[in-house]
Amino acid sequence: MSRAHKIFKTLMQSRADNSFEKELIKYIGPELLVIDDFGLQKLTHQEANDFYEIVVERYGRTSTIITSNRHVDEWEVLFDDPILANSALDRLAHNAYQLIIEGESYRKKFHRSVL
């Protein structure tokens, strides 16, 4: 499991030392990739392109789980290019299962029971 911010940061840094392809493969290759905390903030142009690349390369071959505090309907506005957003999100939605957890945060509930 990797937080979205960390994935994007790692890929950005890998461009500086020319290890981008090697780093990208780490996210494309696994049978299951869990991207945590997606969409906490708007994606930069490069982050949106990197996310698209990961989604496209994994599409139809491997499984991806994405956790987010945003409803899926809010994801398109995270991208600066609506066509790129639609293309990535369409691939994610195809054959996807969506679980929406409503109510109070589990961490908040756990914290109260400890006190």
Residue 113: per-residue pLDDT: 57
What is the tens place of the pLDDT at every residue in 55-100?
999 999 999 999 999 999 999 999 999 999 999 999 999 999 998 8
Note if the pTM is more than 0.95: no
The span from the CA of 43 to the CA of 18, in Å, is 22
Residue 105: per-residue pLDDT: 75
pLDDT band at 103 (very low <50, low <70, confident <90, very high): confident
User: Cβ–Cβ contacts within 10 Å for residue 115, how many?
Assistant: 4
What is the tens place of the pLDDT at every residue in 24-51?
999 999 999 999 999 999 999 999 999 9
pLDDT of 114 over the 70 cut: no
The span from the CA of 73 to the CA of 29, in Å, is 28
Residue 102: per-residue pLDDT: 83
- CATH fold of 2-114 reads Rossmann fold (3.40.50)
Position with higher pLDDT, 84 vs 112: 84
Instruction: For residue 19, give every residue at least 6 positions away whose Cβ sits within 8 Å of its Cβ, in sequence order, or none.
Output: none
> What SS3 class is residue 92?
helix
